[in-house]
Amino acid sequence: MKNIDPRWWQIGSLLSLFTYGVFVLHFDVTLMRTAAIFAVALITQLIGSRLRHIEFEWKSCAISALSLSLLLRSNAIALLLLGAFIAVASKFVLRINGKHIFNPTNFAITSLMLATDRVWVSPGQWGSVAFFGFLIICAGALVVYRSRRSDITLAFLFFWTAILVARSIRLGDPLTIPLHRLENGALLIFAFFMISDPKTTPDSRLGRILFAAIVAGGAWYVQFKMFHTNALLWSLVFASPLVPLIDRALRAPRFEWRNTCFDTLQSSPSLSH
């Protein structure tokens, strides 16, 4: 377990979820399309790395490709490939102080949904099978522990659950309604694999908790006041530009993947988190 890059855990978790979804839940996605998404993501990463004269790092773009394969749907393969390009390219283009602004997958999906009605995210594809939800939680918990971002995941789930329960109480609805909304695989993937992205979240723990509250509050407004679907995705993409401001107000060491190896986490609590 020594010196294991936490991105390996994330790739393994997402790959497990993808395999379960394709072969057990029968997602509307083909292995050929997924391979094409991976190819575009890797080529974009290679070109971006060479243009910026940095080492080619394939694990991050593999995570983006897997996430897109899990979430993004379209009948046009060209749009899926464009999503892979946008996701990876955004990491090289949209940056402030050496830190990319948006979660790549979130930015690609929302950009395409703004540009065309031919792409969509289908939360219902996951169902509410208790076992599958438990699988996502366990896999995601492992990922956020390795990258030291469990605080933002737990904070977001707390705020979002509180919002849903409080709304149901105010309206006099039975608590089965917010519980049903929480029994959503897409929600858990968002909480454990997207908002917890260590390269696009605030550096300080207080900043991450504040950011989680902002995203949860924004999602409430989008879903229950504007009556739009995919509220979590929209809230995250619009809240992400606030991260540099939060980092400036609440300073903390910058996250680096090389500081998150297993033995380092155990022995050096003073490193960035």
pLDDT-wise least confident of 48-52, 57-61, 226-230: 57-61
Give the pLDDT confidence score for residue 13 in this predicted structure.
81
Other beta carbons within 10 Å of 252: 15
| CB of 10 closer than 8 Å to CB of 63 | yes
- Listed in sequence order, the residues at least 6 apart from 19 whose beta carbon sits closer than 8 Å to its beta carbon are none
Q: How far is it, in rounded angstroms, from Cα 101 to Cα 171? A: 37
Per-residue pLDDT at 114 = 96
Bigger pLDDT: 254 vs 161? 161
Look up the pTM and report it: 0.86
For residue 264, is pLDDT > 60? no
Which residues, 6+ apart, have CB-to-CB distance to 171 below 8 Å? none
Amino acid occupying residue 82? L
Please report the pLDDT score of residue 207 as a whole number: 96
Closest CA to 112 of 140, 84, 91: 84
For 217-251, write each residue's pLDDT tens digit.
Answer: 999 999 999 999 999 999 999 999 999 999 999 98
Confidence (pLDDT) at 266: 37
pLDDT surpasses 90 at 16: no
